[in-house]
A = this chain, B = another copy of it.
Amino acid sequence: MSVPVPCTFEVNGRTYRPGARVYAAICVDGCGDEYLSESLIRGRMPNLAGAIRKGKRFMGRGVIPSFTNPNNSSIITGAPPAVHGINGNYFLDPESGGAVMMNDGKFLKAPTIVATAARAGRRCAIVTAKEKLRTILAHDLDGIGFSAEKAGQAERGTHGIDGVEALVGEKTPPIYSPDASVYVLKAGAAMVEQGLADLLYLSLTDYMQHKFAPEEPESLDFHARLDEQIGRLLAAGVVLGITADHGMNAKHSADGRPRVVYLDPILLRLVGPGCRVILPITDPYVAHHGSLGSFAVVHVPPGTDLARVRRGLMGVPEVTEVMEKDIACEKLQLHPERLGDLVVMCGRDTTLGTSPAEHDLSQLDRPLRSHGGRYEEMVPMIVSEPLNAAYRAKAEGDPRNFDIFDFTINGTGS
């Protein structure tokens, strides 16, 4: 087994100095801090508990919109959407007037930490649960990059690896299952054990978190399975950094029906025709959430009195924040090229939709849990080794989830 080569590289304004250790950052998709707390107090995550006691657990601020693509893109670049350009899963192309899905590396406007590390001599690997995310995150990577969803199709020429099923010892898992996430960690652990990679990004899916509350048995069992693999990684000597892309909250009324504010009719009343609502949570994996999240982008016709629309939207009881585009770009560090005129956020227990006809809620087989807004912004961060003084101070500030590679690589060791 080869010893990892210490090196220094710079990407998006930060310098990383990995030593002769294996480093892995894990993004536990949708892991609100409560998921860890509930599993930990029931003794279901003993390996994580050990890592916390040895290292540090603290809260990080994620990217808003608190969705998967913007946050994973931020974690892999160490930078906000203003730098990497991925404001959501979708944006409205002003030229075509169509909604464009950002599921390709070409939309990424910044180099990734992992691709840069590979050029500096590290043996890098990215494993995602969903294929859509692999295509963004493994952009330009001279290393290993594959998804659990298409593990069996990984080939050396295109994915830097083949024989993944044999390596993991398991067939490609179904994407709508807890197995998809566990598979990502199993693949990561196997690659480390086999000496195939020494700087890894392992990004899970929030299928389980969308379905189950933190204390439900299915959730506890899922986290126990994650913990087993965390234990494997720790046993292999990996310096682990763990965070989440966003939290997760129940978004349904007591009778189990989704709580939704439909924006199209409200905008029709406030502005008239010609508005366009983009829900950047929308993705091809509809069973999770029915495209219902707590963040929306609104495009209005030219000449619209934005101040009046802002006040009108703030008058909707469930709406919590409305920002004009320039303010949203500043406060949320979003990219101006792929944003509408207003961003709208709603409360902890509510989602924003377009119109009832456009949301297929028949796919929801459990009461809706979702994310996207301010109440899913804060996520746990865990580093498995003690932080040095500079990073202990940094943790006592406003650490971001996309600082996780920085904390894991630069924050450990002296």
Chain A residues with CB under 8 Å of chain B are 33-34, 37-38, 40-42, 49, 52-53, 56-59, 61, 213, 215, 250, 252-254, 307, 311, 314-315, 317, 320-321, 327, 330-331, 347-349, 367, 374-375, 378, 390, 393-394, 396-398
**A38 and chain B: residue at smallest CB distance:** B57
Contact B57 A37 (CB under 8 A): yes
Q: Which residues of B contact A57 (CB under 8 A)?
A: 34, 37-38, 41
Q: Which residues of B contact A321 (CB under 8 A)?
A: 321
Contact A254 B393 (CB under 8 A): yes
What is the count of identical protomers in the complex? 2
Given A56-B215, A307-B307, A397-B253: A331 in contact with B314 (beta carbons within 8 A): yes
Give the docked Cα–Cα distance between A348 and B396 (Å).
Answer: 10
Contact B250 A396 (CB under 8 A): yes
Taking A250-B397, A254-B393 as given, write out 13 further A-B residue pairs in contact, using a Cβ cutoff of 8 Å, ordered by the A residue number: A33-B37, A40-B40, A40-B41, A41-B53, A252-B396, A254-B394, A314-B327, A315-B330, A320-B331, A347-B398, A367-B396, A375-B378, A378-B378
Q: Which residues of B contact A394 (CB under 8 A)?
A: 254
Q: Which residues of B contact A59 (CB under 8 A)?
A: 34
Q: Which residues of B contact A311 (CB under 8 A)?
A: 327
Give the docked Cα–Cα distance between A331 and B316 (Å).
Answer: 10
Most buried by B among A49, A52, A213, A396: A396
A-B contact pairs, 19 of them (CB 8 A): A33-B37, A34-B58, A37-B40, A41-B49, A41-B57, A250-B396, A250-B397, A254-B390, A254-B393, A254-B394, A254-B397, A307-B307, A311-B327, A315-B330, A320-B331, A347-B398, A349-B397, A367-B396, A374-B374
Which are the 4 A-B pairs with shortest beta-carbon distances?
A349-B398, A250-B396, A254-B393, A349-B397
Contact B52 A348 (CB under 8 A): no
**A347 and chain B: residue at smallest CB distance:** B398
Give the docked Cα–Cα distance between A390 and B253 (Å).
Answer: 12
Q: Which residues of B contact A348 (CB under 8 A)?
A: 61, 398
Give the docked Cα–Cα distance between A23 and B378 (Å).
Answer: 32
Nearest Cβ in chain B — how far from A63, in angstroms? 14
Q: Which residues of B contact A52 (CB under 8 A)?
A: 41
Give the docked Cα–Cα distance between A360 and B161 (Å).
Answer: 62
Give the docked Cα–Cα distance between A307 and B120 (Å).
Answer: 50
